[in-house]
Amino acid sequence: MEKLLKLKNLSISQRNMRLILIMQICQSAIFFLPVLIPFYQAEIGLTFKDFMIIEAIFCATIIVMEIPSGWLSDLWSRKNTMTAGLAFTFMGFSQLLFADNFIEAALSEVFVGIGVSLISGTNSAIIYDSLLQDGRQDEGRRLEGLRHGSALYSLAFACFVGGLLYQIDHHLPVILTVVAQLIGMVCGFLLIEPIRDYKEAEKHPIADMLDTMKFALHGHKEIAGIILFATVVFMATKIMLWVQQPYYELLALPEIWYGVFTAIGFLLGGMGGHLGHMFDGHVRNRTMFLFMLVAVVGACLIAGTVKSVGVIPLLLIGSIMWGFGWPRVQSAINMRVSSERRATILSTAGLMINLAFIPVGSAMGLLSDAWGIQDALLALGLFILAGGSLGLGLFVFNARRKEAIA
């Protein structure tokens, strides 16, 4: 396989970047995503309420594992952590093939949650550390955007194909997802661990992780502002993905269009992640963050007010902002932390997003049942406006204060 991928005679950063792109494409090839709820209903006999509970279990797994996985990556090995992550997603999706009740479906999500946690943050950290070893760290923002964009391109393609294959056999999208994870896991074995500073475990691991979280969320207020902003905005983009289906039901759209619209959203998000680096050096982080906040809030408020097929593109803004904005946030964090803390800090940001999703996502479900999906979207828009403005204000205030001191 190494010969097939033409990995010989490449620098560490070139080799690892090529492999990480393949791994990211494989991990993100979730062919059954646009038909997940119909699959649960038809093949396992679960209701939408069951699905939301399982999604909460998935988020809880992420919360439990996110910081330990980043700490493990910083202390142990980027390569081994990435490979183990793909192994867990492979096991999780394989389990889903044979699940026939709630517990087995939930167990599948637990495995996948562990895998996602192991990969989250580590993929970005290994790219930066590999580039740093080769003296190419200035390319980090562009290549991170390429990685993130490739993930969304892959997800867009998988959603489109999966929606079609589901009409032939309900299990085909799941089988293809399992195969993709296996290929990604094989690529993980071919990575080379970059030379970097390793974090010394002077304390109990839990105390060490809490110290790192304190550094990010309290000791360094500029980073705290970035994480708070990212938590609110990207939690909202996650919710916007799941509210699309109830909104499509409100419009009485045929199910076959669900995969098409989902694919379009991720395709545009992939383009945003891939090409977003072109704004670097031209648009400051604070300006770009403000644009992201206005776009997401505006989409929620308009969708919550207007009932029309013309609103569908606004619902896709969640996927677009995730693709465009997350690499920008990661880059802003990477420039403000050292190598021995990088993966843990990035994992902290991911943890906070999932932590916020559980209460806000549950509230969205309750509001949707009580008032309807549009009123729930209005409430979400107002919440994002308040929380996102607070995080953005904290970041801007502390950034300006540093500039004034300098």
| Cα-based distances in Å from 154 to 68, 146, 151, 209, 387 | 28, 12, 5, 33, 31
* 0.85 surpassed by pTM: no
pLDDT for res 106:
93
Mean pLDDT by 10 residues, the chain (406 residues): 63 80 90 86 82 84 74 72 91 92 94 88 77 72 74 86 88 94 89 66 52 66 83 89 83 82 83 66 77 92 93 88 79 73 70 83 80 89 92 75 52
Alpha carbons 388 and 300: distance in angstroms, whole number = 14
Token pair for 69: 């996985």
SS3 label, residue 199: coil
Alpha carbons 291 and 155: distance in angstroms, whole number = 25
Please check whether residue 145 lies inside any domain of the structure. yes
From the centroid of its chain, how far is CA 198? 26
* Domain range enclosing 73: 12-191+202-405
Measured in degrees and rounded to the nearest 5, phi and psi for residue 209 equal -70, -40
Tokens 């090529």 locate to 18
Question: What share of residues in the chain are helix, strand, coil (percent, to 5)?
Answer: 85, 0, 15
pLDDT for res 102:
93
Please check whether residue 273 lies inside any domain of the structure. yes
Please check whether residue 18 lies inside any domain of the structure. yes
Q: Any idea what the CATH number is for the domain that residue 105 is in?
A: 1.20.1250.20
Please check whether residue 1 lies inside any domain of the structure. no
Measure the CA angle with vertex 236, ends 285 and 336; round to 5°: 30
SS3 label, residue 171: coil
pLDDT for res 147:
78
pLDDT for res 2:
59
| Residue 128: HSE in the Cβ half-sphere, 13 Å Cα cutoff | 25
Token pair for 81: 């952590």
pLDDT for res 202:
47
Within 33-148, strands assigned E span none
Tokens 């979400």 locate to 380
Overall number of domains in the chain = 1
pLDDT for res 5:
61
